[in-house]
Amino acid sequence: MPCGGQGRCGRCAVIVQDGAGIRRRSTLRLSADDLAAGYVLACQTVVEGDALVTIPVQEKIERRLVTDKTAAAVTLPFFYDPLQHQSVRLFPLAIEPPSVVDQTDDWSRLKRALASARLPLLSRWDASQDNWMQLKQAVDSSPEMSDLSADLPTLRRLGTTLREHNWSVTAVVEMDTWDRPTGSARLVDLLPPGQVGHLWGAAVDIGTTTVSLYLADLLTGEVVAKAAEYNGQIKRGEDVISRIIYASKNNGLAELQSLVAATINELLEQATRRANISPSEIYKMTVAGNSTMIHLLLGLPPGSIRLEPFVTAINHPAPVRAGELGIDIHPQASVDCLPGVASYVGADISAGVVGSQMCSSSALTLFLDVGTNGEMVLGDCDWLISCACSAGPAFEGAGVQDGMRATLGAIEEVWINSETCEPTYRVIPNPKLEAQGLPTPPRGICGSGLISLLSEMFITGVIDKAGNPNFDLGSPRIRQGEHGPEYVIVWGDQSEHGRDIVITKVDIDNLIRAKGAIYAGFTVLAQSVGIDLHMVERVLIGGSFGQYINIEKAIQIGLLPDLPWEKFHFLGNTALHGALLALLNREYRQQVGEAAQKMTYLELSADNTFYEAFTSALFLPHTNLAQFPSVAEVLADREAQT
């Protein structure tokens, strides 16, 4: 087994049906549920009497360990009722045509029809008695149409559309927006009378690396398609800082704006093709993203974000029209960029806080979104405090010699045998090779692989707590390389490219600095409100990075605080989920605004506190081992075994 019988890889799990004669030495790798189900680790179990043991199929174990960490499916935390929750509605209208005795202008005629027949049509609505009452109530309390507005392009189509469809049309009306909570309502479009079955919306998260999109039916609240693509801006810089610099160049801002719009349009194209609709049928969009991404989408110069005192142009922009941004949904549709808190705590975090439901519980919660930057929020339903630490892109594979993104051929988990120093690893498989029964040769190591590797090297003593390789172990894998000391994970004859896959001392230092910055962030956040990190009741981890990491190993290197595993929850793209909730429900949209509003932002560069915490975190797992009792226990275990 990979870990050489140290109770760390979990691969030797077996089920003990009658456990009277069994003594468990270590259960670190097992959750409470596992224990209740009778799981034990074979290597950590002493048989002292009779016992009935079942050895499960190996794949079942692997799948268990992996699927536990993937994102939850798209479920809404409320029962969707478009009349109550949705700001964009459909109204089927049969308008009395004009005559010489009633020469009311087209616009007033439409408003009159809207005001008198305010029952919005919902084709999928079950008009049972109860629903009907609810419907009536919603209609009675809906805003007045007397101050209905329309953009000039909508007005320009008005007369022709009304006459083309013989005064029978379906009006698409935006009832309110966050900045105009009591209206006025706005006519967005007029559709032919038949087109009443669907009303589409899109939620978008613009990541520095990846842009993701949900296409949702605003009548049912259902997500009908998802799509994700690399952000087209990548070719003008990998991180936010290089994008900000590029934006300051001649025409750079306009180019970056149209690049991200083109990426969103590509996603819209993919998602609508799958749903068999046209992007122009989408009437509402919400957008999450870090502050730089939101600035670039809106075409706002992001220069001040990069320079002290690190200020945004605007944290909470009002909705704009899709046409103003070159986004190919209906040109008069609102694009609502969600609010950010500060230059480095953007709309992705306030949306994430709502998407993760962090702020709807009184449990003390730590919310963490690790991408290129590490952004984190501490708090509960009453208060929130946030900070951002420039962790750098090491955990995304950048700045690491054999680092790579989590794609085919990436090593995503590593185990090291403490006796032989020989590694075992799992590679993200290439389906084509897999279909032929062939293994996928590794190309490099992705973020979760790096965490796993660093942890294994530390726990097995391949490196010490400062990250220095131990040449005394006499393994050929520990050697002096071109760039200093290094550890060989894969020999060239087994790698895809024929070169050795290694991790160098320089890589290790980069990774330690990255994890140190993040842990220092936690420390300073907790200190600033006088809380001990062990009081945290939940750790919610958002972002694609968080989806695949191994908690145990992340704790062992001191990236995550040492808390019981069941307190950690991987939520996937919380920013996108928050954008979806804001798209579907004006109450959640308001929550995002309130979260951004009440979130205190701690500027880490303001004094030395952060720097001191950072320095203390530049060891594995930490200068102060007392902060990591579970790691201390594992280390003690190892001592005892050798």
Residues that bind a second copy (CB under 8 A): 98-108, 147, 149-150, 152, 155-156, 158-160, 163, 179, 298-301, 303-304, 308-318, 320, 324, 342-343, 601, 603, 605-606
Q: Which is nearer to a second copy, 193 or 303 (CB)?
A: 303
Residue 572 contacts residue 544 (beta carbons within 8 Å): yes
Token pair 């456990």: residue: 19
Q: Which is nearer to a second copy, 300 or 549 (CB)?
A: 300
Minimum separation from the CB atom of position 537 to a second copy (A): 30
Q: How crowded is residue 584: how many other Cβ atoms within 10 Å of its Cβ?
A: 29
Q: Which is nearer to a second copy, 343 or 627 (CB)?
A: 343
Q: Which is nearer to a second copy, 187 or 370 (CB)?
A: 187
Cα(517)–Cα(535) distance, integer angstroms: 21
Residue 285 contacts residue 204 (beta carbons within 8 Å): yes
Token pair 């190919």: residue: 328
Task: Burial-class residue 26 by CB neighbours within 10 Å (0-12, 13-18, 19+).
Answer: middle
Cα(630)–Cα(209) distance, integer angstroms: 34
- Compute φ and ψ for 4, nearest 5 degrees: 65, 35
Cα(517)–Cα(269) distance, integer angstroms: 39
Minimum separation from the CB atom of position 237 to a second copy (A): 20
Minimum separation from the CB atom of position 309 to a second copy (A): 5
Tokens of 435: 């279909």
Tokens of 527: 């200190």
Residue 381 contacts residue 359 (beta carbons within 8 Å): yes
Exposed e or buried b per residue across 92-101, where buried means at least 16 C-beta atoms within 10 angstroms of its C-beta? bbebeeeeee
Residue 356 contacts residue 367 (beta carbons within 8 Å): yes
Minimum separation from the CB atom of position 101 to a second copy (A): 7
Minimum separation from the CB atom of position 322 to a second copy (A): 12
Minimum separation from the CB atom of position 366 to a second copy (A): 23
3-state helix, strand, coil in the chain (%, to 5): 40, 25, 40
Minimum separation from the CB atom of position 43 to a second copy (A): 53
Q: Which is nearer to a second copy, 421 or 595 (CB)?
A: 595
Cα(528)–Cα(399) distance, integer angstroms: 31
Q: Which is nearer to a second copy, 95 or 400 (CB)?
A: 95
Residue 293's closest CA among 368, 212, 395, 201? 212
Exposed e or buried b per residue across 415-429, where buried means at least 16 C-beta atoms within 10 angstroms of its C-beta? bbbbeebebbbbbbe
Q: Which is nearer to a second copy, 125 or 310 (CB)?
A: 310
Q: Which is nearer to a second copy, 102 or 130 (CB)?
A: 102
Q: Which is nearer to a second copy, 18 or 179 (CB)?
A: 179
DSSP string, 70-126: SPPP---SS---HHHH-SEEEEEEEPPPPBTTB---HHHHHHHHHHH------TT--
Q: Which is nearer to a second copy, 216 or 376 (CB)?
A: 376
Q: Which is nearer to a second copy, 435 or 606 (CB)?
A: 606
